[in-house]
Amino acid sequence: MDWWVSMPKVELHAHLNGSIRNSTLLELARDMGEKGTIVFSDFEHVIKKNDRSLREVFKLFDLIHIVTTDHKTITRITKEVVEDFAAENVVYLELRTTPKVPECYNFGKLLQRNDSIGMSKRSYMEAVVEGLRSVSSSLDINFACDYPEKSSATAEKKIYVRLLLSIDRRESTAAAMETVNLALEMRDMGVIGIDLSGNPTIGEWATFFPALKFAREQGLHITLHCGEVPNPVEIQAMLHFLPGRIGHACCFQDEEWKKLKSSKIPVEICLTSNIQTETISSMDVHHFAELYKAKHPIVLCTDDSGVFSTNLSNEYALAANTFGLGKAELFELAKRAVNFIYAGNRVKMELIEVFESAGRTLE
């Protein structure tokens, strides 16, 4: 395992709130229990449960949203998540998060409006950026053009972080457009693109399409959660849109595989997530193997390291063990991921240098 930790890695599919430390989530839930906002024992059971189905995972996200409704908490989670990725030698992180809709749900039921505690999509994102600014001094972080790169002589590691704003599939066209406009306003704070995520059984492609099209016209990069549930019409529409990358691609049929392969759209592969949510029945039938063999552009990612109790080193170790790949092959796979990042050429060249230097020292 140590080798996979030492290897530099690129993380392109990580949801901020899904990457929350379990210890932090429990602490926040306990605090809320003491204040009488929630019944802690009910929540403790949900948090500690492993192997959640896709439905249960979205229940857990509703819970996470309840305990992450203030700015201080968002800042803390962001700081911890970036530090956790850096600690396992993730050298470039595209962190995605949903600027909070002004509602907070409890297992699908509206619980409170976040605007009642003074949170807007913008203030939520400002709290995220504050988290980036407050990472430990033992870490050099590069995240925004107008923010001087924080580097200190004592720093042990360096990480590049860029932000993607997620549109939640529960949202309306107007709310999606609000997220895109916010992303445009926050470009100088490290925001480089838009993600479409949230419960895949909810919402229509036609609702999000105008906002995604506008985002792309304005120069934002796009990644879509695609094919988490069988929905050939939506999958076809998404592939036709030609996003910069897609996440998951679990429920594709022959026609969609053909289209994906000819389009060469890179796929963000989340092994543990797909197995735990049962979107893929077992690792031996996971499409990683087929896409890897076909030399289709792919990148290994965590999805929600907190919710699925994993990390990126673990995902690489898992791919090695499951698909019989060696260290050199997976090192190459990690390095190739630099081609699919949304940051510009200067960052790409610096990352290639990081990989080349690591390649000379790692055995």
Side chain identity, residue 158: K
Q: Which stretch binds ligand 5GP (CB under 6 A): 135-143, 194-202, 280-288, 331-339?
A: 194-202
89 sits near ligand 5GP (criterion: CB under 6 A): no
215-234 residues in contact with ligand 5GP (CB under 6 A) are 225, 228
16 sits near ligand 5GP (criterion: CB under 6 A): yes
Q: What is the 3-state secondary structure (H, E, C) of the chain?
A: CHHHHHCCEEEEEEECHHHCCHHHHHHHHHHHHHCCCCCHHHHHHHHHCCCCCHHHHHHHHHHHHHHCCCHHHHHHHHHHHHHHHHHCCEEEEEEEECCCCCCEEECCEEEECHHHHCCCHHHHHHHHHHHHHCCCCCEEEECCCCCCCECCCCCCEEEEEEEEEEEECCCCHHHHHHHHHHHHHCHHHCEEEEEEECCCCCCCHHHHHHHHHHHHHCCCEEEEEECCCCCHHHHHHHHHHCCCEEEECCCCCHHHHHHHHHHCCCEEECHHHHHHCCCCCCHHHCCHHHHHHCCCCEEECCECCCCCCCCHHHHHHHHHHHHCCCHHHHHHHHHHHHHHCCCCHHHHHHHHHHHHHHHHHCC
Tell me how many residues contact ligand 5GP (CB under 6 A).
Answer: 17
76 sits near ligand 5GP (criterion: CB under 6 A): no
Q: Which stretch binds ligand 5GP (CB under 6 A): 15-23, 24-32, 39-47, 261-269?
A: 15-23
Question: Of 190, 200, 227, 306, which one interacts with ligand 5GP (CB under 6 A)?
Answer: 200
Tell me, residue by residue from 106 to 145, as one string, x for binding to ligand 5GP by CB under 6 A and - for no binding.
----------------------------------------
Q: Distance between CA 297 and CA 10 in Å, rounded?
A: 14
97 sits near ligand 5GP (criterion: CB under 6 A): yes
Catalytic annotation, pick one of 80, 83, 88, 228: 228
245 sits near ligand 5GP (criterion: CB under 6 A): no
Question: Of 241, 303, 305, 341, which one interacts with ligand 5GP (CB under 6 A)?
Answer: 303
Closest approach of ligand 5GP to the CB of residue 212, in Å? 15
Active site residue 228: yes
198 sits near ligand 5GP (criterion: CB under 6 A): yes
- Phi, psi dihedrals of residue 309, rounded to the nearest 5°: 45, 55
Question: Of 4, 10, 11, 18, which one interacts with ligand 5GP (CB under 6 A)?
Answer: 18
Tell me, residue by residue from 323 to 362, as one string, x for binding to ligand 5GP by CB under 6 A and - for no binding.
----------------------------------------
**Of 200 and 266, which CB lies nearer to ligand 5GP in the complex structure?**
200
Closest approach of ligand 5GP to the CB of residue 137, in Å? 25
Give me the residues that bind ligand 5GP (CB under 6 A), please: 15-18, 61, 97-98, 166, 168, 197-198, 200, 225, 228, 273, 303-304
